[in-house]
Amino acid sequence: MSAEQDMIRIYIMGKAYEVPGGLTIMKAMEYAGYRLVRGVGCRGGFCGACATVFRRAGDYKLYADLACQATAEDEMYIAQIPSVPAERASWVLTELAPEDNPILALYPEVARCVACNTCTRACPQELEVMDYIQAALRGDIPQVAELSFDCVQCGLCAMRCPAEIVHYHVGQLARRIYGAYRAPEAGHLAARVQETARGDFDQELDKLEQMSKDELVELYRKRDVES
């Protein structure tokens, strides 16, 4: 197959470009000459910064995904969304009473959920978004925190929701409430804090401070990594 046959045509903000097939949308945009200042972050699907909407050739549906994960396709129409215009409620964690279900008080639109599952289908992380919104409605904060744990805050769920729920902000609030008030204390963490306060690691830290950058890099590369 020739190099010319390997090329595909995509449309970025309505303008046509020829790019190699097999690239992610992000790499295809950069190949086309776009310098990505907004809407780009980790490049590995972990930060949620590169939310993108697109249409496929001959398909009337509007799709959404992360530009660093989705593959560019021939005759694809692409538009980036540097941020989703979803309002975040204002709250102070130390002033919240988790037993009163502050999620529903701060995000009353959660009660509008019609269980259409559009949010779940829109999630590039394949999270059960609708399920954690239903858990939020019940006041089950631990369940919300667990089901939303891998959320990258891209906002695509909120963008597609007919009830105008801001799911990812709801999940973030639940995780912070759970971490502050509900999660069991970690015994090993308390023990490590005591060891640090005693100065058990002072000698090792002093040794690290005396190392050069190259020595630190080599030490990092040879570190023991848990399986």
pLDDT of residue 48: 86
In which band, very low, low, confident or very high, does the pLDDT at 186 lie, cut at 50, 70 and 90? confident
Single out the residue of 136, 149, 153, 66 nearest to residue 101, CA to CA. Answer: 136
Residue 5 has a pLDDT of 55
Confidence of residue 83 (pLDDT cuts 50, 70, 90): confident
Instruction: Tell me the residue length of the chain.
Output: 227
Mean pLDDT of 146-173: 94
CA dihedral 16, 20, 21, 27 (to 10 degrees): -80
Band (pLDDT 50/70/90 cuts) for residue 151 is very high
Q: pLDDT tens, 24-64?
A: 999 999 999 988 887 788 888 888 889 999 999 899 999 99
CB 59 within 8 A of CB 46: no
CA distance 144 to 133: 7
Separation of alpha carbons 70 and 28, rounded Å: 11
Residues above pLDDT 90, as percent of the chain: 69
Amino acid identity for residue 74 in this structure: D
Q: What are phi and psi of 147, to 5 degrees?
A: -70, -25
Distance, CA of 25 to CA of 36 (rounded, Å)? 12
Mean pLDDT across the chain, nearest whole number? Answer: 90
- For 93-142, write each residue's pLDDT tens digit: 999 887 778 999 999 999 999 999 999 999 999 999 999 999 999 999 99
What pLDDT sits at residue 171? 97
Mean of pLDDT values over 204-226: 91
Please give the pLDDT value at position 227.
Answer: 62
Query: 93-182 adopts what CATH topology?
Result: Fumarate Reductase Iron-sulfur Protein; Chain B, domain 2 (1.10.1060)
Annotated domain spans of the chain: 3-80, 93-182
Selected from 3.40.190.10, 1.10.10.10, 3.40.50.300, 3.10.20.30, the CATH number assigned to the domain covering 3-80 reads 3.10.20.30
* pLDDT for the residue 1: 44
Q: How confident is the model at residue 82 (pLDDT cuts 50, 70, 90)?
A: confident
Distance CA 221, CA 23 (A): 30
**Contact call for residues 147 and 132 (beta carbons, < 8 A):** yes
Among residues of the chain, what percentage have pLDDT more than 70?
97
